[in-house]
Amino acid sequence: MIYRDIIIIGGGAAGLMAAIGAGNALRHSGAGKIPESARPLVLEKMPRPGRKIMITGKGRCNFTNFKEWNGFSEHVHPNPRPLRPAFYNLSPEKLTEMLGNAGLETVVERGDRAFPASHRAADVVDTLVRMVRESGAEIRCGEEAVSITVPDTETVLAGNEGNGHFRIECSGGQSYCCRNLIITTGGLSYPASGSTGDGLAWARRNGIAVKSTFPSLTAIVPAGYKAAVSRNLSEDRAISGKSSTGDLKGHIDRSTPLSAKGKALAGIRLKNIGLSVTVDGSTVYDDTGDIDFTDGGLEGPLGFRVSRKCVNAILNGSKVSAHIDLKPAVSQEELEARITRLWQEISEDSRSTGKKYGERFGILLGKLMPRELTAGFLHCNQGTDHKTLARKLKDWKMDIAGYVGYERCVITAGGIDTSAIIPGTMECRKIRGLYFAGEILDLDGDTGGYNLHIAFSTGYLAGQSAAASVIQARAFPSLQV
């Protein structure tokens, strides 16, 4: 059994920053040389730490966002308030300065998004690992925590030396114990990166409130886009509780093959289009931007932005539709007048002589949308002619059948109920000495560096708080177990 004052389970963004926060706080506490038992220890189950950071920002790692709290908090869901103390404790500026002092050059790009200047996520991971080492903390990889035993409350409250320890059993047989345990095991998204929801399952078993989780920043799947889910929506909604394709209602696995409609659309990016979303007929979102049709469904910056609302509504059994406006800069009347003019020109053009209606309509479409979109557009809007085209261009309606799940979503929404945590320390209200930080919490952000900042800032605060408790509780007696 190995004893440490502070153990951190999970060496992702939050866990590495928790180790840095704890290690630096202990180093600067004036306690002199830190004994081995007081060195914060990170247990990471993967062969290397920060595996998910490596895939962030398409390998470029958008590590924070430079907005002030008011602007930043608008991008944090479902309730940003519990994040406030952590944000002010480690602001985007302070985080960037810390990384800079450790040798990482950074740049701020469009939308206040910060990246390593090299645009290499690996440089962020290397810098964090170096910072952990320099803080005096330690990382042990290949250590998967499979069981955690909570000390009984009375011994913790009595501050009983030698008792009141969390005990952690690892899959390789090694056992650890600690007085302060920080759980930073992440959410459920991209399980191949190591995030398999272990901490959430453990919290539930120990009576800690966990809000239902669901995938967010994910592809939403139009009805009929995937071959295996081409049945109609009423049939889909009639399936109560679980969907036929996954545990969550509406989950459509990314690997489900595309239908003919999906194949006609996949690979197309639409720039500066309007997108609104209706839930049971009421508009819940309306904005302009870019969308991508992919092998998953509808995504891209604007698609991701609406995904949280769409997934939530589908889980609640509501009917969700996306409405694409391919011509947001002009009114329907202006567009109708333009189409009438174009149609007349095409009909009067000598090159149209002998051409069938469909061929002339194809020429009209080519003047109004990218060539590669015409097949997919017609697939979705069968029966459209030059008289009804303006309406379809302004309101291309797609019923949404479901969404891609944890296998490929960017973030897990839901998690440890933030009311179970003290926001000023990240300590669990119910179990003293236990802290949670990062994606495991019921805090999720939009794309733009918000999620990594949530992980870094809550991790840093948890680490500092655990160190403060160690410093206050005892002057580093080396405890041999």
Ligand X SMILES: Cc1cc2nc3c(=O)[nH]c(=O)nc-3n(C[C@H](O)[C@H](O)[C@H](O)COP(=O)(O)OP(=O)(O)OC[C@H]3O[C@@H](n4cnc5c(N)ncnc54)[C@H](O)[C@@H]3O)c2cc1C
Q: Restricting to residues 450-479, name those near ligand X by CB under 6 A.
A: 450-452, 455
Per CB under 6 A, which region of 68-76, 247-255, 303-311, 445-453 contacts ligand X? 445-453
Quickly count: other Cβ atoms within 10 Å of residue 64's Cβ. Answer: 30
Counting contacts by CB under 6 A, is residue 12 touching ligand X?
A: yes
Name the minimum Å distance from CB 51 to ligand X: 5
Binding marks (x or -) toward ligand X, 87..126, rule CB under 6 A?
----------------------------------------
Give the rounded distance of the alpha carbon of 171 from its chain centre. Answer: 28
Whose tokens are 């840095």? That residue is: 20
**294 lines the binding site for ligand X (CB under 6 A):** no
Whole-number Å distance between alpha carbons of 192 and 342:
52
Angstrom distance (rounded) from CA 389 to CA 342:
12
Min separation Cβ 203 and ligand X, Å? 12
11 binding ligand X? (CB under 6 A): yes
Q: Please identify, using beta-carbon distances, which residue of 394 and 408 lies nearer to ligand X.
A: 408
As a residue count, the chain comes to 481
> Does 45 contact ligand X by CB under 6 A?
yes
x/- binding map, residues 396-435, to ligand X, per CB under 6 A?
--------------xx------------------------
Q: Which of residues 216-235 bind ligand X (CB under 6 A)?
A: none
Using the rule CB under 6 A, which residue among 8, 13, 279, 326 binds ligand X? 13
Query: Based on CB atoms, which residue is closest to ligand X, 33 or 110?
Result: 110
- Kind of pairing between the strands at 106-109 and 113-116: antiparallel
Rounded distance between C-alpha atoms, residue 451 and residue 20, angstroms = 19
Our finding on whether 446 is near ligand X (CB under 6 A) is no
Q: Which stretch binds ligand X (CB under 6 A): 193-201, 222-230, 314-322, 379-387?
A: 193-201
Whichever of 56 and 469 has its CB closer to ligand X, that residue is 56
Contacts of 104 (CB under 8 A, 6+ apart): 116, 123, 124, 127
DSSP 3-state assignment of 415? strand
Minimum CB distance to ligand X, residue 62 (Å)? 4
Alpha carbon separation from 102 to 12, 87, 98, 418, 452 (Å, rounded): 18, 20, 6, 32, 18
Question: 134: which 2 tokens?
Answer: 């320099």
Does 46 bind ligand X (CB under 6 A)? Our answer is yes
Interacting residue with ligand X among 8, 24, 44, 253 (CB under 6 A):
44
- When asked if residue 144 is in the footprint of ligand X (CB under 6 A), the reply is yes
Restricting to residues 50-89, name those near ligand X by CB under 6 A. 51-53, 55-57, 61-62
Tokens read off for 133: 């080492």
Distance CA 163, CA 154 (A): 10
Q: Tokens 């740049």 map to which residue?
A: 107
Count of residues of this chain found to bind ligand X when the rule CB under 6 A is applied: 39
Closest approach of ligand X to the CB of residue 10, in Å: 3
Separation of alpha carbons 371 and 369, rounded Å:
6
Q: What is the dihedral of CA 142, 62, 221, 395, to 10 degrees?
A: 170
Question: From the CB of 478, what's the least distance to ligand X, in Å?
Answer: 26
Given the rule CB under 6 A, which of 128-136, 185-193, 289-297, 425-433 is the region that contacts ligand X?
185-193
Residue 130 · residue 121 · CB < 8 Å: no
Nearest in space to 71 (alpha carbons), one of 57, 85, 87, 56: 87
Query: CB-wise, 184 or 312, nearer to ligand X?
Result: 184
Rg (CA), the chain: 26
Q: Which of 59, 413, 115 is nearest to 248 (CA)?
A: 413
Rounded-to-integer distance, Cα 383 and Cα 421, Å: 56
Minimum distance from CB of 201 to ligand X (Å)? 9
- Both tokens of 71, joined, read 């602007």
Name the site residues for ligand X (rule: CB under 6 A). 9-15, 43-46, 51-53, 55-57, 61-62, 144-145, 184-186, 189-190, 194-196, 198, 410-411, 438-439, 449-452, 455
